[in-house]
Amino acid sequence: MTLRDLLQRDRARRTTLVTGQVTPEAGRCVQCGICTYYCPINIDVRRHAWLGEPVQESHCLTCGECVARCPRGVLHFERIELFQP
């Protein structure tokens, strides 16, 4: 992988984080609590997953920790139009 590839990948990752919100798929979640446990600002992500609602809290950093940690692929980033022209 070249430096250019690396930078492009990093750019894509940052764009996803800024323009996305964490969205759960309730049918996959078993409420294990790993998402909530690892949230750096203590958002109860698991509650959102139970209700099947996206994490729309303004505090959410979209850091991706819960998405990456979820062992069942319940959470994903969904694009929002907030920053779109």
Give the residues lining the site for other proteins (CB under 8 A): 25, 27-34, 36-37, 46-47, 50, 71-73, 76, 78
C-alpha distance across the termini of the chain, in Å: 32
Q: How far is the CB of 3 from other proteins (least distance, A)?
A: 25
Q: How far is the CB of 60 from other proteins (least distance, A)?
A: 19
3-class secondary structure, 76: strand
**Residue 1 or residue 3: which is nearer to other proteins going by CB?**
1
Which residues have C-beta within 8 Å of that of residue 60, sequence separation ≥ 6? 21, 22, 41, 43
Tokens of 82: 């907030």
**Residue 14 or residue 76: which is nearer to other proteins going by CB?**
76
Give the bridge partners for 76, in sequence order.
Answer: 23
Q: How far is the CB of 9 from other proteins (least distance, A)?
A: 16
